[in-house]
Amino acid sequence: MQQFGVIGNPISHSLSPIIHNFLFSHLGIKAFYQKIYVPHLEKLNGVLDSLDGANITLPYKEEVFGICDEVMGIAKEIGAVNTIVNRDQKKYGFNTDALGFWKCVENLGIRNALILGAGGSAKAIAVMLQKMGVEVDVYAKNKLRHLFFIQRQIKVNAKIDLKDYDLLINATSAGLITDDLPVPEKILKELFCRSRYLFDVIYPSDSRMNSIDSFLDFFVHRKATPLIAYAQSYSIQTMDGLEMLLFQALLAFEIFFSKQYSFEELRALFYNSKKLHRSKK
């Protein structure tokens, strides 16, 4: 049986096993996907060697970039790996966060975007948008985080440039644990009035989610993130990060099985699932 896993610290909250194990059972693949808690960097290599493929989450995406035998595609530009496959005793690293995000917004006709935050997810999103010809502004209070963007000719500022944006992205951790907003309300109000879409990388979660049925119910009935709840009295259209999470997992699945299953096919399988249809009624 093939073995896969998601590696991080903390890891208990991860929804990836539910998604991957659902796909294995639906497609009749003899494989198992588990959460793997890795407290220290030293243990990482050994764990990766024991798996056929893995997803990597906080805080190891940049470390794994450094230990891959070969880094593929956009992961090279981002400098972070969230998906790995072991083939012929070599580790191949990929980044599916970037394309997972793009799949959520690709049909919106985005010409310019403002990214709030400058950590791992902001880097992946900024590189992806730049690649797609979108004009990107990054806002990061912390100037220590500016170098990555400067080196890639992406505009970065410690002050928000108040102008009209097609897409506003919250790529900070604000709203994850508490109801914090990423920037002061006065600025948000102005941005909400001048932007078409708001994408919040944060997604709501529920610790009781432990099966595909509970995940699908949650997918349909989930609550708004603090930022999306705050935006609801404005005409800006909103999306949270749950679909990005799902899409990065489907893209990783595609990579684990060498594109035997396409992203579109996997997405259709998920959205056509009977349970999701029942919940939508």
Which tokens hold the place of 139? 């806002």
Catalytic residue numbers, as ranges: 61
Identified binder of ligand NDP from the candidate list 35, 43, 76, 141, rule CB under 6 A: 141
Strand pairing class (2-8; 31-37) = parallel
Residue from 15, 118, 212, 236 touching ligand NDP (CB under 6 A): that is: 118
Q: Of the two residues 53 and 241, which places its CB atom closer to ligand NDP in the complex?
A: 241
CA distance 171 to 175: 11
Instruction: From 172-180, 189-197, 210-218, 223-231, give the range in contact with ligand NDP by CB under 6 A.
Output: 172-180
Distance of alpha carbon 190 from alpha carbon 155, whole angstroms: 20
Q: Is residue 140 at the binding interface for ligand NDP, with CB under 6 A as the rule?
A: yes
Euclidean distance between CA atoms 172 and 116, whole angstroms? 6
Q: Which region among 28-36, 39-47, 65-73, 141-149 touches ligand NDP (by CB under 6 A)?
A: 141-149
Q: Starting at the edge strand that comes first in sequence, how are the strands of the sheet with 31-37 ordered?
A: 31-37, 2-8, 53-56, 83-87, 90-94, 70-71
Window contacting ligand NDP (CB under 6 A); options: 129-137, 213-221, 239-247, 255-263: 239-247
Decide if residue 196 touches ligand NDP (CB under 6 A).
no
Token output for 130: 């730049």
Please identify the residue of the shown chain whose CB is closest to the bound ligand NDP: 119
Plot region of 184 (φ>0 → left; ψ -120 to 50 → alpha; else → beta): beta
Binding to ligand NDP (CB under 6 A): which residues in 28-87? 58
193 binds ligand NDP (CB under 6 A): no
Q: Are strands 195-200 and 165-170 parallel, antiparallel or unpaired?
A: parallel
| Strands (E) located in the chain | 2-8, 31-37, 53-56, 70-71, 83-87, 90-94, 112-116, 135-139, 155-157, 165-170, 195-200, 237-239
For ligand NDP, the closer CB: 29 or 74: 74
Which residue's CB is nearer to ligand NDP, number 21 or number 121?
121
Segment contacting ligand NDP (CB under 6 A): 62-70, 140-148, 211-219, 221-229?
A: 140-148
Using CB under 6 A, list all residues that contact ligand NDP.
Answer: 58, 97, 117-122, 140-142, 145, 171-174, 176, 180, 182, 201-203, 241, 244-245, 248
